[in-house]
Structure formats: C-alpha cells, structure tokens
Amino acid sequence: MSLSKERKLELLNECKVCKCTKCPELVENRTNTVLGEGNPQADLVFLGEAPGRDEDKEGRPFVGRAGKLLDNVLSYYGWDRTDVYICNILKCRPPGNRNPSPEEAANCRPYLDKQLEIVSPKWIVWLGAVAAQNLLGTETPIGKMRGEVYEYKGAKVIFTYHPAYLLRNPD
C-alpha cells in the first residue's frame, strides 16, 4: 500500500527534519523546525528562504508580516493557502533572521529535495535572491532572473522578489 503525500511529509518531518542536528547554531537557537504547509497535491509551490521569529515560534511557514503579504498575493489570484504548498530552503530559523549560509542551505537541501519529490509540483515560485543564488550557484541579481523560466527537480521555476524585500521596498 502506498502512503499518501501527507503521510510521507509527516514521516519526513518526524523522522528526519525534527531530529536534524547538522547545523549546531540553528539547532541551539530553534524553538520548532518548519517543514511546510498547504496542499501537497498542489501544482504550485512557493519556496522561501528560512523561518523567521514568528515561524520558529509557531512551526509554520510565512506566518509573520512577509506571510501576510504572501497571503495577499495569493488572494489577489483568488487562492489561499489550501490551493498551494509553501515551504522554505532552511527548516530552522537562522539567529537574528540572517541569510542562510551556503553550508546551511547545503545541509538542508536533501530535506527540500525530498519534500519537492513528494509534492512533485509543476511550478515553483522561488522567493528571493538568496534562494535563487543557492539553487543555481549564481550571483545574478533577482531582478535579472525574473521573467526567465528555470527548471528544478522536474518543475518549472520562476524567481521573484521575497515578500520581506517588497515590504522594505514597496515601489
């Protein structure tokens, strides 16, 4: 009998992510790991960088100010969180919300890849420059990558500004 996507994600969380000790600084400072949420059957995944303070507290992605903006973007298209799947490159909060280091992103990459394999979306909206640079090993500014379609793990990828950046630069 094959397991549902929901159950596979639960097992990934319980057996691997929650017990992960690969990044000592993150482990020491985390309250909760944050795997992701939404609809694992969805064709569309929104991928952020890492949990912030609110996400670390609640164990859910994008629940702070950036999350409210993401909710607004979703509702502009007539969607809510149950229509898409939302996750981050890092499953633990970097202290002080600093950018994830390349090492931390590499440590967490197997969890992200497994998660994407389970959800197997058609499209990934990759939020933010750090995320983009981590994936492609590039320094290309996000503004230049917008509008291009990339590919990752069988899904088409488009990059756009991170909601936290848009909050700081509303124009």
Alpha-carbon gap, residue 90 to 50, rounded angstroms:
5
Which one of the spans 56-64, 107-115, 135-143, 145-153 is the region binding ligand URA (CB under 6 A)? 56-64
Alpha-carbon gap, residue 119 to 6, rounded angstroms:
9
Near ligand URA in 82-111, by CB under 6 A: 88
Alpha-carbon gap, residue 85 to 167, rounded angstroms:
22
Paired strand residues for 38: 85
In angstroms, give the least distance from the CB of 51 to ligand URA.
Answer: 5
Tell me the residue number closest to ligand URA, measured at CB.
48
In angstroms, give the least distance from the CB of 91 to ligand URA.
Answer: 10
Is 62 one of the binding residues for ligand URA (CB under 6 A)? yes
Task: Render the burial of 148-169: b for 16+ CB within 10 Å, e for the rest.
Answer: eeeebeebebebbebbbebeee
Between 106 and 167, CB nearer to ligand URA: 167
Q: What share of the chain is helix, strand, coil (3-state, %, to 5)?
A: 45, 15, 40
Query: Which of 9, 12, 35, 50 is in the footprint of ligand URA by CB under 6 A?
Result: 50
Interface contacts to ligand URA, rule CB under 6 A: 48-52, 55, 61-62, 64, 66-67, 88, 164
